[in-house]
């Protein structure tokens, strides 16, 4: 990955306890599951959305436009999240297996994932407010 | 006795695969800094999840008091209850993560284990929910396909 920096482990680095190593392993394993499901969702639903958008003539005037925008946002988020989580998982695996200094890049991936999730949540909340205004 | 008597004598390091690295696992200052830097993002995410829960509850209340059919009301109630429950789970774990990383910022190195455990819990919950959601999506797609075929065959 391009944002991975190779840095020597600092001499005063703190050693990880077995419980911390187990936590990292668990997080990495589950992150891979989430990433694979997220990317599969992005590909399948993205293709479906693309086919629907290409074949539907009355898309702009359709009442479904709001729903389609929400699905598009979910697809974009799933793709970004999947990519970041794969980077997170790869960094931890590389750190645990080969003692490579990939942990900072891994945590950077986690941070980017959280920001992407925040943007998606803000978008979802905004769409929720719009729906609420329509309901009221 | 080796299978090939003419093969050169094996040396421990050169002729075998690399032995597993035995060096202790340690977190560098840079990694710790990056872990601490996730705190604001996690904190913002908890705020937005709280906002999302509030919007969902207001929306559900509006549907309940509106002129909607019982089916719509029941569906809305169920989806809001499930969504709020899931969001609350995430909220608890993310708050744990944010609090632990903020404690790390103040120099409390004992909070590192808590932050890593919270990360693991977060991804475990996310993973289980993603598996359930994927299963439901596949079931839904299969059911939709079958219904479509039955409608076409009629």
| Contact (CB<8Å) B41/A30 | no
d(CA A108, CA A14) in angstroms, rounded, equals: 19
Kindly report the nearest CA distance between residue A33 and chain B, in angstroms. 6
pLDDT along chain A (136 residues), means of 10: 42 76 94 96 92 74 75 94 96 88 92 95 88 71
Query: What pLDDT sits at residue B154?
Result: 62
Domain ranges of chain A: 22-51+60-132
d(CA B123, CA A40) in angstroms, rounded, equals: 18
CB contacts of B49 in chain A (<8 Å) are 121
pTM value is: 0.81
Query: What pLDDT sits at residue B9?
Result: 62
d(CA A36, CA A78) in angstroms, rounded, equals: 10
Q: Which of B27, B119, B127 is nearest residue A16 as measured by Cβ atoms? A: B27
Q: What is the ipTM of this complex?
A: 0.82
d(CA A65, CA A52) in angstroms, rounded, equals: 12
Residue of higher predicted confidence among B146 and B5: B146
pLDDT over threshold 90, residue B17: no
Q: Is A135 on the interface with B (CB under 8 A)?
A: yes
CB contacts of A14 in chain B (<8 Å) are 26-27, 32, 109, 112
């Amino acid at each position: 990955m391009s944002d991975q920096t190779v840095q020597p482990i600092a001499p005063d680095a703190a050693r990880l306890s077995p419980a911390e190593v187990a936590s990292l392993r668990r997080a990495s394993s589950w992150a891979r599951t989430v990433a694979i499901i997220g990317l599969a969702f992005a590909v399948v639903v993205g293709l479906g959305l693309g086919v629907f958008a290409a074949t539907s003539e009355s898309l702009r005037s359709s009442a479904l436009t709001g729903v389609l925008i929400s699905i598009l946002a979910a697809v974009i988020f799933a793709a970004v999240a999947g990519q970041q989580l794969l980077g997170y998982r790869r960094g931890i695996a590389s750190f645990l297996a080969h003692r490579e200094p990939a942990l900072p890049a891994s945590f950077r991936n986690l941070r980017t994932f959280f920001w992407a999730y925040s943007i998606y949540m803000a978008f979802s909340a905004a769409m929720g407010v719009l729906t609420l205004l329509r309901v009221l | 006795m080796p299978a090939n008597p003419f093969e050169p004598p094996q040396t421990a390091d050169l002729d075998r695969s690399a032995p597993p690295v035995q060096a202790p696992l340690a977190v560098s200052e840079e990694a710790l800094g990056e872990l601490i830097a996730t705190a604001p993002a996690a904190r913002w995410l908890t705020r937005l999840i709280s906002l999302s829960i509030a919007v969902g509850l207001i929306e559900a209340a509006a549907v309940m008091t509106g002129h909607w059919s019982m089916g719509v009301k029941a569906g809305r109630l169920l989806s809001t209850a499930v969504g709020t429950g899931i969001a609350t789970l995430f909220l608890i774990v993310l708050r744990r993560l944010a609090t632990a990383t903020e404690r790390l910022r103040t120099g409390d190195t004992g909070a590192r284990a808590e932050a890593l455990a919270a990360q693991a819990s977060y991804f475990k919950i996310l993973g289980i929910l993603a598996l359930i959601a994927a299963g439901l999506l596949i079931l839904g797609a299969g059911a939709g396909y079958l219904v479509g075929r039955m409608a076409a065959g009629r």
